[in-house]
Amino acid sequence: MLKILRHKKTAKKVWIGLALIIIPAFALWGFGGAFRSREESQPLGKIFGRPVSNIEFRDAISAVTTTAIMQYGDQFQEIEKSLNLEAQAWERLILLYEAKRRGIKVSDQEVVRTIESMPYFQYKGGFDNRIYNQTLQYVFRLKARDFEEQMRANLMLNKLYKQVTDPFKLDDKAKEEKFREFIIELNKKAQ
């Protein structure tokens, strides 16, 4: 076999044959990737006239899922069907848009303090980085950066809630009702 490949004409034919097989395969693979990325960036809908991409919506679904897992724990699988995560994701996107419009910001230190104080990541009274990384990997199935950005957005939403409800000096039930009215008003504007 090696003697045959040593002949220049034969080797040239083999290389041409390999090129005819490999180049179209890579070209088709590249075109498929381009179409997939174009499909992912296509808007799923609009909020306040601004398009919402597939990626943004997927991130919002991930964030509301993470929040639900933290809230419901082991019962999440049973409750998941009744949560309507898609509607919560749209609501989250609308509220985040409003928080950004109002200029609400959250510092890195606030995010770190919040994460370090979460009971899920505590061991012997303090934050444990090993538990943090394992929980993110095996429970939430997230990278640390994604989780931290979700926490930043959650803190922005908390600040928005306080901004909307604090001026009214109401009890908790009345504050929740006032915030629900605010959300309904935002949903009407968003469409």
**Can you give the pLDDT at residue 5?**
57
Mean pLDDT check: name the lowest of 17-31, 46-60, 64-78.
Answer: 17-31
Split at pLDDT 50, 70, 90, the class of 36 is low
Split at pLDDT 50, 70, 90, the class of 2 is low
What is the rounded average pLDDT for all residues in the chain?
84
More confident residue, 162 or 43: 162
Strand locations in 48-142 (E): 50-53, 122-123, 126-127
Question: Tens of pLDDT along 105-153?
Answer: 999 999 999 999 998 899 988 999 999 999 999 989 999 999 999 999 9
CA nearest neighbour of 149 among 73, 55, 86, 50: 55
Q: What is the DSSP letter of 82?
A: G
Rounded Cα gap, residues 53 and 116, in angstroms: 32
Can you tell me the mean pLDDT for 66-93? 90
Whole-prediction pTM value? 0.72
Task: Report whether 111 contacts 145 (CB < 8 A).
Answer: no
**Can you give the pLDDT at residue 136?**
92
Q: Bridge-partner residues for 143, per DSSP? A: none
More confident residue, 26 or 174: 174
**Can you give the pLDDT at residue 169?**
72
More confident residue, 4 or 143: 143
Entry field: residues in the chain:
191
**Can you give the pLDDT at residue 6?**
63
**Can you give the pLDDT at residue 142?**
93
